[in-house]
């Protein structure tokens, strides 16, 4: 083969064959088969990998080998860049586009649309439907078919972390973009909206900010709950929303709880959110969780025994993102130990992943449900503002167990319990500890709930 006219595919074909002979078959199938070559120039080969986790693992363990073998094939120094499949927005509101090694320039990700900020992999066909999300998906499809033309405006999708809200939100945008002519679509997060607003104020450029967010046909805003207590940003979003709504443009929002429970937002903004359709996504049942894992394995061309997916789905509940992460970590464990994926290996890896002696993980929602059932206090009151002694005590117990068992941050616990601040959570934990030391019956009650959650 003429090395002077190599394409990215040609080079990767030769390179991967050389790698296959140097590593175990399991390692090759796990870490190298999912890689796709997407670009080659005089200085670098760009490889697309499924996630940041893949990039970090390959770069740490196989970087030198890849660079050496690339030089052997091409006869010259060729750097390796990694284009990472776009995932959830990062905490600062930005969206990662690419990771790379040995270079300061970001490579282009063919699945990321820089104009709309959409990840093209998020589609309705890749969304696993179950009884927990049927209404949310149906409403999303309806809005995508006729944006701004239905009574579902705004459409608000709410539910816990990692249940698929962002997937649905971006699936709407991607389907809308297929219309002819394609409408103007913009995806953002509430944190990115806030950051853009602050930047506009600092640069005395408010008109450009308004034009960017109002000159669209479909506005998709993720995690609207983070606008809480940001009064100026709320005011700006209120006017943006009104302008779009009055011109018949479609607005779709996601949040981690029902809008009526978003304390710290202005009443007139909440009123706008509740003027359209509000749908929720619940935690998936076991069958749906298994289907999600099987779909993930199928998409990544991985052969995972059914009993392994069932084991993960049974023990990692309530958060799809964590469940998929557990699957990837299991693959890493298998590769590192040069072992096939067996039930015994899966249990060992899962125990390490969950950080406890058992193979069961507990979420804040699990704690709330268990405390509610044991102390006979409705979940709505637990996360609400009620101050009756039995309600307040139950709420404090739930906060305490969320800290002790789940290991959640004070801020995250506060958000789950009606947007309370971290000092309230600290007080609750201290109060429960004190009461457990003073009253044996109360301690037994709390320990009973804990045992039930950890069994």
CATH topology identical between 3-107 and 286-354: no
How confident is the model at residue 354, as a pLDDT? 63
Q: What is the pLDDT of residues 313-344, one digit of tens each?
A: 877 776 787 777 778 777 777 776 677 777 77
The answer to whether 248 touches 148, Cβ cutoff 8 Å, is yes
CATH of 286-354, one of 1.10.8.60, 3.40.710.10, 3.40.1160.10, 1.20.1630.10: 1.10.8.60
Q: What is the pLDDT of residues 377-394, one digit of tens each?
A: 888 888 888 888 889 999
Q: What is the pLDDT of residues 104-142, one digit of tens each?
A: 333 444 555 656 678 888 899 889 888 889 999 999 999
Question: Percent of the chain having pLDDT more than 90?
Answer: 22
Q: What is the mean pLDDT of residues 34-38?
A: 83
Residue 88 has pLDDT above 60, yes or no: no
For the whole prediction, is pTM greater than 0.85? no
The answer to whether 94 touches 145, Cβ cutoff 8 Å, is no
Q: What is the pLDDT of residues 213-251, one digit of tens each?
A: 999 999 999 999 888 888 888 999 999 999 999 999 999
Helices 389-401/422-438 angle, 10° precision: 100
Question: Percent of the chain having pLDDT more than 70?
Answer: 86
Q: What is the mean pLDDT of residues 391-410?
A: 88
Q: Where are the domains of the chain?
A: 3-107, 118-281, 286-354, 383-454
Instruction: Assign a CATH topology to domain 118-281.
Output: Rossmann fold (3.40.50)
Domain 3-107 in CATH: superfamily? DnaA, N-terminal domain (3.30.300.180)
Average pLDDT score, the chain: 81
How confident is the model at residue 98, as a pLDDT? 40
The answer to whether 253 touches 154, Cβ cutoff 8 Å, is yes
Q: What is the mean pLDDT of residues 147-168?
A: 90
How confident is the model at residue 323, as a pLDDT? 79
Q: What is the mean pLDDT of residues 429-447?
A: 90
Q: What is the pLDDT of residues 140-155, one digit of tens each?
A: 999 999 998 888 999 9
Residue 4 has pLDDT above 60, yes or no: no
Domain 383-454 in CATH: superfamily? DnaA protein, C-terminal DNA-binding domain (1.10.1750.10)
Residue 273: closest CA among 294, 254, 259, 255: 259
Helices 231-246/190-202 angle, 10° precision: 100
How confident is the model at residue 357, as a pLDDT? 38
Residue 73 has pLDDT above 70, yes or no: yes
Cis status, amide bond into 154, omega within 30 of 0: yes
């Amino acid at each position: 083969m003429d090395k002077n006219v190599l394409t990215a595919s040609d080079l990767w074909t030769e390179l991967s064959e050389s790698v296959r002979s140097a590593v175990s078959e399991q390692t090759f199938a796990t870490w190298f088969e999912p890689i796709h070559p997407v670009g080659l120039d005089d200085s670098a080969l760009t490889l697309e990998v499924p996630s940041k986790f893949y990039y970090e693992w390959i770069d740490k363990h196989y970087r030198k080998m890849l660079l050496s073998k690339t030089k052997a094939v091409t006869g010259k120094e060729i750097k390796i860049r990694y284009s990472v499949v776009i995932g959830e927005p990062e905490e600062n509101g930005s969206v990662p586009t690419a990771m790379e090694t040995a270079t300061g320039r970001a490579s282009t990700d063919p699945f990321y649309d820089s104009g709309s900020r959409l990840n093209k992999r998020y589609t309705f066909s890749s969304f696993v439907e179950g009884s927990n999300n049927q209404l949310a998906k149906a409403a999303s499809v309806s809005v995508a078919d006729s944006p701004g033309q239905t009574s579902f405006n705004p459409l608000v999708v709410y539910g816990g972390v990692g249940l698929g809200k962002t997937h649905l939100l971006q699936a709407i945008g991607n389907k809308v973009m297929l219309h002819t002519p394609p409408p103007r679509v913009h995806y953002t997060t509430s944190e990115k909206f806030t950051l853009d607003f602050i930047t506009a104020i600092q640069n005395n450029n408010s008109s450009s900010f308004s034009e960017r967010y109002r000159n669209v046909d479909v506005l998709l805003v993720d995690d609207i709950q983070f606008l809480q207590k940001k009064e100026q940003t709320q005011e700006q979003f209120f006017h943006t929303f009104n302008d779009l709504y009055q011109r018949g443009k479609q607005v779709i929002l996601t949040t981690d709880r029902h809008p009526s429970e978003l304390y710290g937002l202005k009443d007139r903004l909440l009123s706008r959110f509740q003027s359209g359709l509000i749908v929720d996504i619940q935690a998936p049942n076991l069958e749906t969780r298994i289907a999600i894992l099987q779909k993930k394995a199928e998409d990544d061309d991985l052969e995972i025994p059914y009993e392994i997916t069932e084991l993960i789905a049974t023990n990692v509940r309530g958060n799809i993102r964590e469940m998929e992460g557990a699957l990837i970590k299991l693959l890493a464990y298998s590769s590192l130990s040069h072992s096939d994926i067996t039930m015994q290996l899966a249990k060992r890896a899962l125990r390490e992943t969950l950080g406890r002696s058992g193979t069961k993980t507990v979420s804040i929602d699990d704690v709330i449900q268990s405390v509610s059932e044991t102390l006979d206090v409705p979940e709505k009151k637990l996360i609400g503002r009620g101050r009756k002694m039995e309600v307040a005590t139950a709420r404090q117990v739930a906060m305490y167990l969320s800290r002790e068992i789940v290991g959640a941050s004070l801020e995250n616990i506060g958000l789950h319990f009606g947007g309370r601040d971290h000092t309230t959570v600290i007080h609750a934990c201290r109060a429960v500890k004190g009461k457990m030391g003073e009253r044996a019956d109360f301690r037994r009650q709390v320990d009973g709930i804990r045992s039930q959650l950890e069994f």
